[in-house]
Structure 1
Amino acid sequence: MTRLPFKDRIEGAVALADALSDYAGRDDVLVLGLPRGGVPVAAEVARRLGAGLDVIIVRKLGAPGQPELAVGAIASGGGRVFNEDLVRLMHLSPTALERIIERERKELERRERLYRGAHPFPQMKDRCLILVDDGLATGATMRAAVNAVKSTGPREVVVAVPVAPSDTVEVLAQEADRVVCVATPENFMAVGRWYLDFSQVEDVEVMDILAEAWARQDAS
């Protein structure tokens, strides 16, 4: 039995790494964290698996006047997904949708420059890509990430999270090659409910984690 809530993201990451143990020691595995909260989880998973670490930027497309309501998501590399039912329900025209996309694309590009700097994008073709977040609610951002990395020709795409609702896991299982989720509690409500410490992860922490990981990888 998984003890919930997790103490913090690192405890969630340890449990997730245990569930991913069959990927340990493989030189074709690359762990991709979704900023910001997914990066510390991904870093601990990558460390325990002996795998490389990188980042894939994803931005939720918030509905007009309701930014927390996702009508879709976009990701590095051009991946995008939409909640078609919600788009129709809110009567969002293609023009209105493009305005939302353009706003979030600017923020996505800003974060790419901030986090990555001059560090090149990793080679993904023929690799096993493990996409990690600290949890999923609707799964829209993760679906966009999966959509983006599929176009790079990976051998396998794995979605890995400590916690998510079972229906979201089922949706992702149709799009990724495998979904690894440590816990699927009922009455999910929000990811933060399943962590005692769900402190916001700041940009500087993401940058420090990536810089340390990349320096270690470049030296090996």
Structure 2
Amino acid sequence: MRTHYARFQNRTEAGKQLAARFKPYADRPDVLVLGLPRGGVPVAYEVAKALNLPLDICLVRKLGVPGHKELAMGAIASGGVRVLNYDVVGWLGIAGKVIDEVANRELRELQRRDRAYRGDRPPPDIRDRIVILVDDGIATGATMRAAISVLDAQKPAYLIVGVPVAPSETCDALKSEADEVVCLLTPEPFYAIGLWYEDFSQTTDETVRKLLADSTSSSYSPAALA
């Protein structure tokens, strides 16, 4: 039974609720909010807006199991980072050649999204800043671990993972990789992220572009705090 767990109406509401957990970081020039495209960006947008913080993205692509794309066997991110979920790979006996094929395909999509979302705008400077890394939820944690690996290489002062919903064991595991993990809802049994939203419709590329453009033109844009 999961009727005693309140679901989020949508990503906007989830972001507003998540922002309340980060009030001490409001208006600080050394803090940056990063959203994981696509679904994490609407959540991150609300966090950044509520706290008057700059918003940017951290590009990561899930490596879905062939025939079962929602099941993550790993993830890749910019800079050649690849994180594998060895439990899934071993359980299904997935060959290295298959992993490489999926990774190469997802790399092309990652590069496309980088051009589509960021355009000519350079990535933000992460070094010595407090980073709040946001997604709309975590299942296996492979995507988030890839993102953490990318950011760790850029030497942030403090790295916080913030999500509306995730399994408790996944959150606990990520605490050894991030400085802090904030999760609003840890339902048991978990099943899937989308079950904990009334509206979990797909976030489009256009929505991501619009939210990033809105943030750039506001007082909490990266340019305003550079």
TM-score by length of 1: 0.93
User: 1:188 — aligned with what?
Assistant: 190
Report the alpha carbon displacement of residue 184 of structure 1 after superposing the two structures with TM.
1.0
Report the alpha carbon displacement of residue 3 of structure 1 after superposing the two structures with TM.
6.9
Q: Call closer, same or farther: CA 1:190–1:175 in 2, change over 3 Å.
A: same
CA distance in 2, matches of 1:135, 1:88: 24
User: 1:51 — aligned with what?
Assistant: 53
Partner-residue secondary structure (3-state), 2:183 = strand
- Ranges in structure 1 where 5+ consecutive residues have no aligned partner: none
Match of 1:86 among 80, 85, 88: 88
CA distance in 1, matches of 2:224, 2:90: 51
Partner-residue secondary structure (3-state), 1:71 = strand
Aligned residues: 219
Partner-residue secondary structure (3-state), 2:156 = coil
Is 1:77 the counterpart of 2:106? The answer is no
Judge conservation of contact 1:137–1:164 (CA < 8 Å) in 2.
Answer: yes
Judge conservation of contact 1:80–1:148 (CA < 8 Å) in 2.
Answer: no
Partner-residue secondary structure (3-state), 2:181 = strand
User: 2:104 — aligned with what?
Assistant: 102
User: 2:159 — aligned with what?
Assistant: 157
Match of 1:144 among 132, 143, 146: 146
Judge conservation of contact 1:4–1:195 (CA < 8 Å) in 2.
Answer: no
Q: Deviations over 1:92-131 (max 9, x none)?
A: 3333322221111011001111111111110000011111
Q: Deviations over 1:142-176 (max 9, x none)?
A: 11111111000100111001111101111111111
Report the alpha carbon displacement of residue 32 of structure 1 after superposing the two structures with TM.
0.4
Report the alpha carbon displacement of residue 85 of structure 1 after superposing the two structures with TM.
2.8
- Ranges in structure 2 where 5+ consecutive residues have no aligned partner: none
Q: Call closer, same or farther: CA 1:95–1:125 in 2, change over 3 Å.
A: same
CA distance in 2, matches of 1:68, 1:185: 19
Match for 2:114: what amino acid?
Answer: E
- Deviates most, 53-62 or 90-99: 90-99
Q: Call closer, same or farther: CA 1:50–1:139 in 2, change over 3 Å.
A: same
Superposed CA RMSD in Å reads 1.7
Report the alpha carbon displacement of residue 219 of structure 1 after superposing the two structures with TM.
5.4
Q: Call closer, same or farther: CA 1:111–1:182 in 2, change over 3 Å.
A: same
Match of 2:208 among 206, 209, 212: 206
Judge conservation of contact 1:70–1:140 (CA < 8 Å) in 2.
Answer: yes
Q: Call closer, same or farther: CA 1:35–1:156 in 2, change over 3 Å.
A: same
Report the alpha carbon displacement of residue 89 of structure 1 after superposing the two structures with TM.
3.1
Judge conservation of contact 1:77–1:149 (CA < 8 Å) in 2.
Answer: no
Q: Percent identity?
A: 52
Report the alpha carbon displacement of residue 190 of structure 1 after superposing the two structures with TM.
1.2
TM-score by length of 2: 0.91
User: 1:22 — aligned with what?
Assistant: 24
Q: Deviations over 1:48-106 (max 9, x none)?
A: 11111000111111123322221100112333211123223333333332222111101
